[in-house]
Amino acid sequence: KKELEYSGSGDGTVPVSNVPQGVSAKLHVWGKNDMVTSQNIGIYWFVADPDGEIAEEYTDWKFGTLGSGQDHEFISSGSFTLNKVGKYTTWIDLLMGSKDNPVVIMSARYIGELCTVVAELVPTFSELEVA
C-alpha cells in the first residue's frame, strides 16, 4: 500500500492526480511479511520530479523483526516540495534480511507514477463598474 500525504489536501492512494503545485509531501509505504517466519524488513525509495531530478531519497529499517503476516508503515522522515508541474515518479523497494546484505523483494517493487502536479490557479480580478 502506498499513499501520498500532501499539505492542505489530505492523503491519496498512489498514483495521485491533480495535486496542487507548491505543496509539501510525504510518502507512506506499508511493507508486509508474507514469510512464515519473522523477518528484518526495510525500505528504499526515491522520488523524481518531472525533470528527472531527485526530490527525495529515503531508506529505513524497522527496529526488530516483523512477525509473519504483519505489516509495517514506513514514512519519510522529512518532506519534499512538489514545486514543478507534471508527473513525479518513484522507485520503491521492500527489503528483507540484513542491512549489510539486503534482499530486494521483487514482487513488492514499484516503479511508476507517484503523482501528477497541476499549476496552482491564481484568481484574477476585474474592475466592476457601477452605472
| pLDDT computed for residue 22 by the predictor | 92
Cis peptide before 15 (omega within 30 of 0): yes
- Each residue's pLDDT tens digit, 75-101: 988 899 999 999 999 999 999 999 999
Amino acid in the structure at residue 14: V
* Assigned fold of 2-118: Coagulation Factor XIII; Chain A, domain 1 (2.70.50)
The residues spanned by each domain of the chain are: 2-118
> Is the per-residue pLDDT at 124 higher than 90?
no
Question: What is the C-alpha to C-alpha distance for residues 97 and 104, in angstroms, rounded to an integer?
Answer: 9
